[in-house]
């Protein structure tokens, strides 16, 4: 498997960045955090854990998911969780032309990241044939935006449909089962689905798959609807850490993403995290750079510059992961996703000359899915591009990345590069696991529990009181 790499050389800037010595100084505490993380009660690696209960993270179950799901699949095939997910995906692919995914936060951002990174950039606009019969995927239940909901309802067939082209279904995801945005969306889209299947309860139930916590309101509702299949968000796996459970895997599999490769990528990152020494460990190096710059230079804005439009949602997934995990106790860096070169024309001015509070981490694709497009020559050379006629878009992108890093370096602005072999499943699996591990380790060295999001409750409480008052 081609591995992703992390290169922090761009942070080695005299006076405004770090020195190799600064990183080495953080090595012992990060190594300790890794050992502690690996020694907690993790059923696959370490039964019975040595870490005292009060220091155990609450929801570290994400760590073992890749290996656990892959091993179970090997052993039990179709009867395993992964086997069931693949079978449900196949059934949905055959029976519907669009899935409406209802979920918010960790219950949708991972699926959106995978969809945007791995699928055709205009997947939903392609004909069914060009999509190889794979369903379209639309996201709702992630807001209470009336016109957005009405807009999606406009394009759904809500009359009895005989052709696959008119059929649609719902994947509804909520761990708690009680999130208002998702529950409201479900109620509204359920009414539309009922109309679409001519009020046939069996047909309706077959078009719905819930992924939820056991025994919650959503679980009760899907049982009352008689849905033949549902999935559980595993215990000990928090929302924003759940992308490699059914939460992210089911929608990904429905749109043809190879979820086995995704898990294999994540398992490979687990191996590197467990085995590689500090200097070669992408997770520990990443945390050392982030923490080093924060502690020594007060740099607490984390810009994730993704150099591909396909990776924007992946950046937003990381925004949530970092913000909700370590933004606690009046501390925690602020994440910001930029899509370059697009945002060089909106944010780069500030990054180049504004406050010295930013680390720019580039996410770069080593290979692309499509053949390079050259500019070509033209009889009309008013734009003076004939001199670059043989240059391709990837070459221009490469020059933009190097030129931007150089400009930041000359201005004393730290940068680091994460290079993905491609926007493919194995690379994404590695990246996702790297970031979830890094966030967990960073929380530990900061003395913050990265799991849970108690601060989100305040708005919910107020909103409910206002609605009921």
Binding site for ligand PA5 (CB under 6 A): 104-107, 174-176, 179, 182, 238-240, 324, 453
The minimum distance between CB 173 and ligand PA5, in angstroms, equals 6
Q: Give 107 or 337: the residue with its C-beta nearer to ligand PA5.
A: 107
State which residue, 240 or 302, has the beta carbon closest to ligand PA5: 240
C-alpha to C-alpha distance for 290 and 284, rounded to whole angstroms: 10
- Pick 186 or 273: Cβ nearer ligand PA5: 186
Of the candidates 14, 47, 345, 461, the residue annotated as catalytic is 345
174 or 340, CB closer to ligand PA5? 174
The one catalytic residue among 76, 214, 309, 460: 460
- SS3 category, 399: helix
CB 266 to ligand PA5: min, Å: 18
CB of 142 to ligand PA5, least distance (A): 9
Q: Taking the complex as a whole, how short is the minimal distance between the CB of residue 207 and ligand PA5, in angstroms?
A: 21
Residues facing residue 363 across a β-bridge: 306, 418
Inter-axis angle of helices 180-196 and 146-155, to 10 degrees? 30
Contact between 240 and 325 (Cβ < 8 Å): yes
- Those residues whose C-beta lies under 8 Å from the C-beta of residue 25, and which sit 6 or more positions away, are none
> 101: helix, coil or strand?
strand
* Residue 460 known to be catalytic: yes
Q: Are 241 and 59 in contact (CB under 8 A)?
A: yes
| Residue 148: other Cβ atoms inside 10 A | 13
| Residues 71, 454: Cα–Cα separation, whole Å | 34
Handedness of CA 133, 137, 138, 140 (dihedral sign): positive
| Own/partner pairs, 321-327, CB within 8 angstroms, 24+ separation | 321/240, 321/241, 321/435, 321/436, 321/439, 322/439, 324/105, 324/240, 324/453, 324/456, 325/240, 325/439, 325/440, 325/443, 325/448, 325/450, 325/451, 326/439, 326/442, 326/443, 326/446, 326/448, 326/450, 327/455
Q: Would you tell me the crossing angle of helices 259-275 and 246-254 to the nearest 10 degrees?
A: 140
Of 179 and 340, nearer to ligand PA5 (C-beta) is 179
166 vs 157: CA distance, rounded Å:
6
Q: Residue 337 belongs to what H/E stretch?
A: strand 334-339
Nearest residue to ligand PA5 by CB is: 239
Pairing of strands 301-306, 230-232: unpaired
Label the pairing between strands 301-306 and 334-339: parallel
In whole angstroms, the minimum distance from the beta carbon of 60 to ligand PA5 comes to 14
Tell me if residue 104 falls in helix, strand or coil: coil
Write down the least CB distance from residue 453 to ligand PA5, Å: 6
Q: What is the DSSP letter of 374?
A: B
Nearer to ligand PA5, 233 or 301 (CB): 233
Question: Are 51 and 36 in contact, with CB atoms under 8 Å apart?
Answer: yes
Of residues 206, 324, 425, 442, which has the active-site annotation?
324
Which is closer to ligand PA5, CB of 118 or CB of 212? 212
Min CB(302)–ligand PA5 separation in Å: 18
Which are the contacts of 243, defined by CB distance < 8 A and separation ≥ 6?
106, 110, 111, 113, 114, 317, 432
CB 421 to ligand PA5: min, Å: 28
Query: By C-beta, is 422 or 450 nearer to ligand PA5?
Result: 450
DSSP 14-43: TTTS--HHHHHHHHHHHHHHHHHHHHS-BT
238 neighbors 62 (Cβ within 8 angstroms) = yes
Tell me the closest approach of the beta carbon of residue 117 to ligand PA5, in angstroms. Answer: 19
Nearer to ligand PA5, 361 or 453 (CB): 453
Active site residues: 324, 345, 460
């Amino acid at each position: 498997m081609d591995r992703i790499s992390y290169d922090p050389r761009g942070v080695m800037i005299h006076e405004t960045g770090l020195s190799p010595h600064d990183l080495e100084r953080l090595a012992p505490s990060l190594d300790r955090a890794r050992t502690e993380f690996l020694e907690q009660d993790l059923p696959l690696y370490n039964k019975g854990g040595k870490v005292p209960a009060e220091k155990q993270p609450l929801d570290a179950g994400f760590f073992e998911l890749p290996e656990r799901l892959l091993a179970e699949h090997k052993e039990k095939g179709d009867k395993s969780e992964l086997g069931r997910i693949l079978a449900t995906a196949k059934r949905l692919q055959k029976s519907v032309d669009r899935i409406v995914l209802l979920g918010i936060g960790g219950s949708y951002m991972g699926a959106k990241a995978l969809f945007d990174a791995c699928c055709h950039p205009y997947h939903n606009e392609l004909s069914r044939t060009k999509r190889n019969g794979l369903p379209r995927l639309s996201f709702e239940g992630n807001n209470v935006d009336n016109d957005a909901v009405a807009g999606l309802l406009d394009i759904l067939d809500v009359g009895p449909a005989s052709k696959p082209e008119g059929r649609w279904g719902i994947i509804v995801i909520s761990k708690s089962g009680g999130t208002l945005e998702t529950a409201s969306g479900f109620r509204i889209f359920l009414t539309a689905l009922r109309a679409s299947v001519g009020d046939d309860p069996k047909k309706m139930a077959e078009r719905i798959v819930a992924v939820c916590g056991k025994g919650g309101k959503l679980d009760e509702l899907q049982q009352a609807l008689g849905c033949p299949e549902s999935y559980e968000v595993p215990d000990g796996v928090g929302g924003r850490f759940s992308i490699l459970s059914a939460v992210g895997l089911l929608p990904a599999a429905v749109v043809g993403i190879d979820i086995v490769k995704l898990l294999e990528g994540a398992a490979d990152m687990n191996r590197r995290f467990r085995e590689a020494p500090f200097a070669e460990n992408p997770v520990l190096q990443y945390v050392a750079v982030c923490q080093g710059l924060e502690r020594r230079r007060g740099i607490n804005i984390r810009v994730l510059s993704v150099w591909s439009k396909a990776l924007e949602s992946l950046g937003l997934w990381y925004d949530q992961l970092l913000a909700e995990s370590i933004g606690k106790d009046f501390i925690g860096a602020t994440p910001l996703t930029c899509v370059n070169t697009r945002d060089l024309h909106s944010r780069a001015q500030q990054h180049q000359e504004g406050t010295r509070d930013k680390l720019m981490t580039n996410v770069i694709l080593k290979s692309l899915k499509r053949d390079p497009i050259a500019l070509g020559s033209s009889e009309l050379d008013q734009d003076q591009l004939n001199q670059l006629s043989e240059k391709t878009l990837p070459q221009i992108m490469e020059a933009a990345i190097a030129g931007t890093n150089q400009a930041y370096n000359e201005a004393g602005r730290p940068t680091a590069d994460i290079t993905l072999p491609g926007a493919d499943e194995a690379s994404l699996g590695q990246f996702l696991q790297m970031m979830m591990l890094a966030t967990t380790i960073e929380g530990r060295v900061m003395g913050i529990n990265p799991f849970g999001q108690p601060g989100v409750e305040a708005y919910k409480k107020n909103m409910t009181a206002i609605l009921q008052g």
